[in-house]
Structure 1
Amino acid sequence: MYDPRQLQVLVEVARSGTFTGAADALGYTQPAVSYQIRTLERAVGAPLTSRYGRRVRLTPVGAALARHAETVLATLRTAQNELASLVSAGGGQVRMSAFQSGCVGLVPAALARLRRTHPELEVVLTQTECGISHRLVLSGEVDLAVVCDLDDAENPPDPRLQRIPLLSDQRCVLLPADHPAADAASVSLADLSGERWILETVRTRFLAACREAGFTPRIAATSDDQLTIHALVANRIGLAIMNELGVAAHTHPQVVARPLRGWPTRNIYAMLWPDLLKSAQVSAMISALGAAAGALGLGAGPELTGDSTHPDRDR
């Protein structure tokens, strides 16, 4: 009997073509991936991989096992979800992760809707970064994740996972209500080059945009807490940037938000293994997310090609 964790490692090695790529996808170290493959090779009794320069290819035996492993892992995911539903009291369980502003501005409303329509369904929520959510979905530690696409260029999503569009939102600048630009329809970074800024810990994209606008921002404070950011802006310590989803969840009465021109729109999705759409519990959670997203009145999620459609949109 082969260990499902080792089968998953083999599938990731086949997909990425390197042990390092498989380690990054699963949140393992590279030596751990090598160990899992060696252990699986001993169980099979034949080599599963061979090296070609810096790349790794599967042997015929490895390719055959990886093909069957895909089916086995999909069956295990479905079984795990079904058994969780049977064991959990009442209507089953859904494990979900989401990034910070998704947890603040979208997920609570979706959970409230779900409680009304499926009062016995239990949802276990984890707040984490999108990259970590990606790994949690791949490994089966969560059933679905709410993620955004701003890092797709650097960390492209696994093509085996399905992404269901939920909404799009813009980046905004938070200003004190009496700021000269508070009545503007929108603002640009160049308009605000002389201001002080309250920045989040992750600020690479913002700093690059400021350089493109011809200035280096003066940093007055650093905070990842939305309430703190609003309070600092309200007290004129500096300006801040925040996505509409975070603004929709909370705005200080002495703070206004104005769209930031020239900043890419952020698209937000539910991401999961396609076979889990067969789960009534997971589908109910996705429907609640879609309804909550629509009620926010922000941008509609983009249309995707392939199978990336909302389960209720074709009805």
Structure 2
Amino acid sequence: MRYDLDDLRLFSHIVAEGSITGGASRMHLSLPSASARVRSLEHHAGVALLVRGRRGVRPTPAGTALARHAREVLARAALLESSIASYSRPPTAPLTLLGGGSAMHRLVPQALISFLRAHPDVDVTVAESRTPQTVRKLADGEAELGIVLDDEARDCGLRLDPLGDDSLVVIGQPGGVLAGRTSVSYSEVAEHPLVGLDVDSSLRRWIEKHAGPHAPVPRYRTTVVDLGVLVSLAAAGVGLAVVPRRAIDPHRRLDVCELQDPWARRRHLLAWGVTDLAAATATAALAEHLHHAVHAEPAVRTG
């Protein structure tokens, strides 16, 4: 059986979104067209790939296998295109990738490792940037890609693709004040001694902006510039910490609680800038590696 790359890309988006409608939107297809493509895939495969329900779809075991291999095929296809395009692309023009501190902690490094190994002729400039600044730079053509937060980037006029969860959780020493808890409000968290990032960090600004004026004023025992150091301090019992879930090593012994506040549920989007044609193929390849890095991240459980 021959697989069409656009069909594989569509199926990957459907699985990521949990709905055919969401996958169709990411591919800029109508719902009937996307549904027809999925039915054609299932017909040629000779097996059901999706379980359809009232709240969306989920992959069957065969669909899970297809989605996994599809991501690998798409990444290799992007590598092929980028390798050929690199011969006509000026070697002195690196791609620019922007993102907040949360993305820079684990997601971006993992994507860069695989991308730079696969694309020895393409350089990447990486810089930490808060969502408003990232959107502006992308619109001005100063960067090719940016990882932004959903509620700060809506209606910005740029192409936005869902990237992954960036929800905030509370962490503390195993067996400490969070023991036996699965969720807690920020107001309660702020009544305990905390450790946090420095005042100029994007995460610290996000928390202070959304917690509101009525939240208790937290006592920070210390502030640091690195998320990894922050997690280590919390694990050692110095204080509680509010961090993105993706910043936590799932193998580390920690008590992890959901934050009950609605503002703690965040989503990362991949925003595309206005780039020249010479950089378009390499940009698409970097985007594929970012998506692949999201799916490769292990899950962290609360409680």
Higher alpha-carbon Rg: 1
Give TM class, smaller chain.
0.5 to 0.7
Q: What SS does structure 2 have at the residue aligned with 1:177?
A: coil
Amino acid at match of 1:129: R
The answer for the alignment partner of 1:268 in structure 2 is 268
Q: What SS does structure 1 have at the residue aligned with 2:286?
A: helix
Q: How many residues align?
A: 209
| 8 Å Cα contact 1:175-1:240 kept in structure 2 | yes
Q: What SS does structure 2 have at the residue aligned with 1:279?
A: helix
Residue 86 of structure 1 deviates from its aligned partner by: 2.2
User: Partners of 1:252 and 1:228 in 2: how far apart?
Assistant: 16
The answer for the alignment partner of 1:166 in structure 2 is 163
User: Partners of 1:234 and 1:196 in 2: how far apart?
Assistant: 14
Amino acid at match of 1:209: A
User: What is the root-mean-square deviation in Å for CA atoms of aligned residues?
Assistant: 3.3
Segments of structure 1 that go 5 or more residues without pairing to the other structure are: 1-81, 300-315
Residue 114 of structure 1 deviates from its aligned partner by: 1.8
Q: What SS does structure 2 have at the residue aligned with 1:293?
A: helix
| 8 Å Cα contact 1:173-1:242 kept in structure 2 | yes
| Larger CA deviation: 180-189 vs 129-138 | 180-189
> TM-score, with normalisation over the residues of structure 1?
0.56
Segments of structure 2 that go 5 or more residues without pairing to the other structure are: 1-84
Amino acid at match of 2:292: A
| 8 Å Cα contact 1:234-1:252 kept in structure 2 | no
| Alignment CA distance shift 1:142-1:192 (3 Å) | closer
Q: What SS does structure 2 have at the residue aligned with 1:227?
A: helix
Amino acid at match of 2:240: L
The answer for the alignment partner of 1:239 in structure 2 is 240
User: Where does 1:288-307 land on structure 2 (aligned, <5 Å)?
Assistant: 288-296=289-297
Q: What SS does structure 2 have at the residue aligned with 1:281?
A: helix
User: Partners of 1:234 and 1:95 in 2: how far apart?
Assistant: 34
Residue 297 of structure 1 deviates from its aligned partner by: 5.0
Matched, 1:257 2:260: no
**Deviation string, structure 1 residues 136-190 (Cα, Å, up to 9, x no partner):** 21221211111113435xxx5522x111111123211010112042342233335
Matched, 1:177 2:174: yes
User: Partners of 1:84 and 1:135 in 2: how far apart?
Assistant: 30
| 8 Å Cα contact 2:141-2:274 kept in structure 1 | no
User: Partners of 1:275 and 1:95 in 2: how far apart?
Assistant: 10
Residue 221 of structure 1 deviates from its aligned partner by: 2.5
The answer for the alignment partner of 1:279 in structure 2 is 280
**Deviation string, structure 1 residues 30-51 (Cα, Å, up to 9, x no partner):** xxxxxxxxxxxxxxxxxxxxxx
**Deviation string, structure 1 residues 213-256 (Cα, Å, up to 9, x no partner):** 6x443332233322332233234332110011222xx5794543
| Alignment CA distance shift 1:274-1:177 (3 Å) | same
User: Partners of 1:189 and 1:225 in 2: how far apart?
Assistant: 21
Q: What SS does structure 1 have at the residue aligned with 2:229?
A: helix
| 8 Å Cα contact 1:197-1:239 kept in structure 2 | yes
